[in-house]
Chains A and B, each alone.
Chain A
Amino acid sequence: MTPNSLSLPRLIRHDLMISWRRLCGFLRARTTTRAVIVLALASALLHLAAWPLAAGLLSLEARDGAVALDGMGFVIVLPWLMSQGLTGATRALYSRGDLDLLLSAPLSPQKILASRASAVAIESFGAVGMFLLPVVNMAALLGGPRWLAVYPALAAAVLMATGVSFTATLGLFRLLGPKRTRAATQVIATLVGAWFVICAQIFNFIPAHDQAALQEALAHPAPGSWLDPHGALWLPARAASGEASALAIWSLLGVGIFVLAVRALGPAFARGALIAAGEGTARGASRAAPFRSERAGALRRKEWRLLARDPYLLSQILLQSLYTLPVALIIWKSLGPNGSVALSVAPALVAIASQLSAALAFLAASSEDAGDFVATAPVAPGEIMRRKIEAIGVPVALMLALPLAGVAYASPRIGLITLLCALAGAASTAALNFWKPLENRRGDLIKTHAQNKLVGLVEHGLSICWAVAALLLCLESWEALLPIALGLALLRANKPRSQSPEALAPA
């Protein structure tokens, strides 16, 4: 390393300062004091909410043992950390920010990667710890200090997940190239992250006799089997439960993987960042598609091209769809042995249609890069809006056509209700996004509604209203009128009262 270059702690401090300011922006806190107050309040609330959960965990610990409980915890937390790590590694590789400055400075690639990876690790620890550690603190208060071993165990897990994430991201970069890696890591991070939600549901869907068998196997595992808590697989659980030797090995493993990854991958990271910077100019130079300037088609095609090229869209749609699936399973299970699959899928499809339409409408309405330019064109604002709606309607219809056809085949009545509610939900959330456009940049779908959380809440509210209405209509319940009325009331409350005189175009 260059002897006089910036020290690693100062580099890390610089990265953390940037992360902190990003967090302040997310919290809409103008000053550090305000951000600290918001976080302290949130932490206090989370500690209060964690109290009953911690009490429940202590009774589970008494029944199944600390290692089994922590093992279950790690099944949930590790994918979450991996998802955070993959997202952070991708951002570190592709975000320009001050990377050009660092790469042009007399700093070794290892040092740059070490600072970036440390910042990602600390961010991951903060994001996961914000929700996990209040439970741990409450459990420590109620059940004793052994719970505090979760802190170092979590820190080691974060370091390990970060090291593995950077290795995986740079491996994919080499394998797939710069263009596909970003999309691939986003999708993988989404799937891995969704595993957390699916994990939380898995146990509920195991048949009762299998649940009992699993509990028995956990309580009395066969020596040497994968359920044996003395095996290597259970090392993190033993570390979190406070076993000193396991904690030492787990911590060494975490630090070792992190340091190895940083030392070995520094040059590859620097090369990758430089290649990623030239991604825009490295694309194919020719374009075979015919030049078609028919107005309606040109307006729709532009929206489709931009949607297809959004790096976060695919992963976000996948995430929303995956998060909706457990709802269908819960409904299916609650309907009992005579329950209809079509009935259980209907509200999930309505929710997916609403969320998908919302995401696409957000991109079309709030992420218009050249709104002022479009406003100078001799096209009525209404026509631009119509073409945008058409453009987002097609992918929504394409995505839902097959499952809707399946539902209609199983039950034409439920199929019709699902179709109507999906249309209503998609139209409602799209209208909301067109009525309440936000100042944003395309590619920031991941920050959807970070600037206006109320719009985000209303969007989810509309989605839930139409999904519940679909379920109740399928059950032929008059109470379906209530969510429909609530949804319409939400829409009415958000409808703009008058057009601003400056708003000559929707973009």
Chain B
Amino acid sequence: MSENAPQVSVAEVSVADVCVPEASRLDASLPDALRLRALRKSFGQKAQQKPAVDGLDLTIRPGEFYALLGANGAGKTTTLRMVAGLLQPDSGKIFIGGTDARKYPLAAKALTAWLPDEPLLYDKLAPLEYLEFVAGLWGLDSALAASRAEDLLRRLGLWEQRGQRCEGFSRGMRQKVALSGALIHAPRLLMLDEPLTGLDAGAARLVKDMLAEQARQGVAVVLTTHILEVAEKLADRIGIIAHGKLIAEGDLAQLRRLSAQNSAGRSASLEDVFLDLTARGVAA
């Protein structure tokens, strides 16, 4: 990165710059779906500790579809795992729906769903048995859970397989079962790590539609993906993370403005913008 190149940081994208796609669903009176402040996490021995997440600030509103992009090892999954309560941050604050997740983890978890890149299922359970277990974990009413389970499995095309054990399922089917588990308790914050991996074109479209619908219903959807087209088409806002820091944030137009690709005088794709910003972010 040259010295004259503009410094790109989260501070450059003010709240006023942020695109508000549909004011009705991004209700300002509601608390932020997710607010991270100065979040840090390092791994390794004390002498050679390497920050995976380095003072991350992030705010996501209810009903917002947020794509978190970054190269491998940038800190995306570590961030999501900390929000999901699977990793203790070294320092910083996590608020989910206004609840301090470090102080009141159970209350925060009640609002959250996390779908990792590798579906976490029980091979010996059938989809319906799995959903019954998940509904129990989130303490749902049986009748409500049963109706949601049927609705989800039908929509995801798994109703016929509801009694079959997951051990024989393809990667895509497992991903769909895991997604139905994430949605059955109607979370307010839905975090997905590479949710489209292993899905065929039809299933990927179905999942994208369902995620967009969740956002329309007021759920904050945060996803990480390497398929930039998904982020480009679905996300209200995109955050680019490198070395555990948010180096750029905004909608596609804002990111284009931040990128050197503007100088080329053409409408750069998200891929061009992402590669340019991460290269400059890393160099910085």
Q: Which residues of A approach B to under 8 Å, CB–CB? A: 278-287, 290-299, 301-302, 305-306, 309-310, 369-380, 442-443, 501-502, 504
Contact = CB atoms under 8 A, between A and B. Distances in A.
Interface string B160-176: 11111111110000000
B210 interface: no
Determine chain A's interface SS by DSSP, over half rule.
loop
The 6 closest A-B pairs by CB, nearest first: A280-B168, A298-B136, A293-B135, A377-B137, A291-B146, A370-B120
A279 B168 contact: yes
Nearest to A291: B146
Chain B interface residue number, banded: 35 or more
B98 to A, nearest CB: 16
B31 to A, nearest CB: 18
B141 A293 contact: yes
Interface stretch (B9-17, B60-68, B106-114, B221-229): B106-114
Interface of B: 84-88, 105-110, 112-114, 116, 120-126, 128-129, 132-142, 145-146, 149, 160-169, 181
Contact of B162 (A278, A287, A298): A287
Nearest to A384: B137
21 contacts: A280-B167, A280-B169, A282-B168, A283-B164, A287-B128, A293-B135, A293-B141, A293-B142, A293-B146, A298-B137, A301-B132, A301-B133, A370-B120, A372-B120, A376-B109, A376-B112, A377-B137, A378-B137, A442-B122, A504-B85, A504-B105
A306 B163 contact: no
Given A376-B86, A502-B88, A504-B86, A299 B124 contact: no
Contacts of A286: 162-163
Nearest to A303: B133
Given A302-B125, A370-B120, A380 B106 contact: yes
A309 to B, nearest CB: 4
Contact of A302 (B133, B163, B181): B133
From B106, B120, B145, B149, name the one whose CB has the most chain A CB atoms within 10 angstroms: B120
A299 B84 contact: no
Given A287-B126, A293-B145, A379 B106 contact: yes
Contacts of A374: 137
A370 B124 CA distance: 12
A502 B126 contact: no
Nearest to A286: B163
A287 B122 CA distance: 17
Contact of A280 (B106, B142, B145, B164): B164
A305 B121 CA distance: 14
B164 A292 contact: no
Contact of A283 (B112, B113, B140, B163): B163
Given A371-B120, A373-B116, 10 more contacts: A287-B128, A291-B128, A291-B146, A291-B149, A293-B139, A298-B137, A305-B125, A378-B110, A379-B106, A504-B88
A278 B168 contact: yes
A379 B123 CA distance: 22
A423 B180 CA distance: 40
A502 B166 CA distance: 29
A281 B106 contact: no
Nearest to A441: B123
Contacts of B109: 376-378
A378 B133 contact: no
Contacts of B140: 293
A267 to B, nearest CB: 23
